């Protein structure tokens, strides 16, 4: 299955990065996938969750998927158009000389991790909020 192998590849790369940064937990993974890869996002999310659940560091990680539209540019007239079903014919001049400019990529854009060495920011913020100096003087 197409989505399973992609999910497996994502999990592999994320785990490598997580190990490198000594992450205790991966919270969110943001990927950009070109439309030309014909990925079913629901199936990919499902496969990723299944793979993630078998790894303590990845368990519960949220997968965010951006699908990049498949676009091409005609070498004759310069028209940019949306490629439908991988047909690279220019809709304006009907030439078959188009160059793909987007929609074939597959990359991990960013990820959010919990790191054992870093103090959680939330704790400090909360402590500051609880201290309200204006109350000390009374009304
Ligand atoms: Zn054209």
74 annotated ligand-binding residue:
yes
What is the per-residue pLDDT for 1? 57
What is the per-residue pLDDT for 94? 97
What is the per-residue pLDDT for 133? 42
70 annotated ligand-binding residue:
no
Expressed in angstroms and rounded, the spacing between residue 85 Cα and the centre of ligand 1 is: 18
Mind listing the pLDDT tens digit for each residue in 71-87? 999 999 999 999 998 89
Expressed in angstroms and rounded, the spacing between residue 33 Cα and the centre of ligand 1 is: 26
pLDDT band at 93 (very low <50, low <70, confident <90, very high): very high
Residue 77 lies in a domain: no
Q: Is the pLDDT of residue 120 over 50?
A: no
What is the per-residue pLDDT for 70? 96
% the chain with pLDDT above 70 = 82
Residue 84 lies in a domain: no
CATH number where 59 lies? 3.30.2320.50
Higher-confidence position of 115 and 43: 43
3-state SS record for 83-128? CCCCCCCCCCCCCCCEEEEECCCEEEEEEEEEECCCCCHHHHHHHH
Give the chain's radius of gyration (CA, Å): 23
Q: Count how many domains the chain has.
A: 1
Residue 44 lies in a domain: yes
Residue 97 lies in a domain: no
93 annotated ligand-binding residue:
yes
Expressed in angstroms and rounded, the spacing between residue 137 Cα and the centre of ligand 1 is: 74
- Residue bearing tokens 């943001």: 30
Residue 96 lies in a domain: no
Expressed in angstroms and rounded, the spacing between residue 30 Cα and the centre of ligand 1 is: 35
Residue 120 lies in a domain: yes
Residue 41 lies in a domain: yes
What is the per-residue pLDDT for 86? 87
Residue 117 lies in a domain: yes
Question: Checking phi first, is residue 86 left (phi over 0); if not, alpha (psi -120 to 50) or beta?
Answer: left
- Is-contact 130 39, C-beta < 8 A? no
Domain that holds residue 50: 2-70+102-135
**Exposure on the CB side of residue 84, measured as CA atoms within 13 A:** 3
% the chain with pLDDT above 90 = 80
Nearest of 12, 1, 10 to residue 63 by alpha carbon = 10
């Amino acid at each position: 299955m197409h989505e399973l192998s992609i999910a497996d590849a994502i999990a592999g790369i994320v785990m490598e990065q997580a190990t490198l940064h000594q992450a205790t937990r991966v919270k969110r993974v943001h990927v950009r996938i070109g439309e030309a890869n014909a990925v079913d996002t629901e199936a990919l999310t499902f496969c990723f969750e299944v793979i993630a659940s078998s790894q303590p560091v990845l368990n519960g990680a949220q997968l965010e998927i951006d699908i990049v539209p498949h676009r091409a540019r005609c070498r004759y007239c310069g028209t940019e158009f949306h490629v439908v079903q991988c047909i690279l014919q220019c809709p304006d001049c009907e030439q078959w000389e188009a160059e793909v400019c987007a929609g074939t990529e597959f990359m991990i854009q960013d990820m959010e991790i919990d790191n054992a060495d870093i103090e959680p920011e939330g704790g400090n913020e909360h402590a500051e909020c609880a201290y309200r100096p204006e109350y000390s003087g009374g009304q």
